[in-house]
Amino acid sequence: MADSARDLRDLPDPELADAITTARRELFGLRFQNATGELENTSGLRAGRRALARLLTIEQERKLRSHNQES
């Protein structure tokens, strides 16, 4: 998956949706591992939350941009 917000903004809508789904699954896995005590590197939780937030922000920007263009 692309790392920077600039790279993520270049993704087409279907790939962005796939990236969001993947990030949610990965974050769920990390949370599950943390709850069961299997997660050794807890900084991954923070990185996962930030990655998901970045993706959701880009998705929201696109929705707002398309809504403003329709008006």
pLDDT at 3: 64
pLDDT at 69: 87
> d(Cα 32, Cα 45) in Å, to the nearest integer?
10
pLDDT at 4: 84
Helices marked H in 1-71: 5-9, 13-36, 43-70
pLDDT at 70: 83
Q: List, in order of start, the domains of the chain with CATH numbers.
A: 5-66 (1.10.287.310)
Q: What is the pLDDT of residues 30-64, one digit of tens each?
A: 999 999 999 999 999 999 999 999 999 999 999 99
Q: What is the pLDDT of residues 11-23, one digit of tens each?
A: 999 999 999 999 9
Distance of CA 55 to the CA centre of its chain: 4
Whether the per-residue pLDDT at 1 is higher than 70: the answer is: no
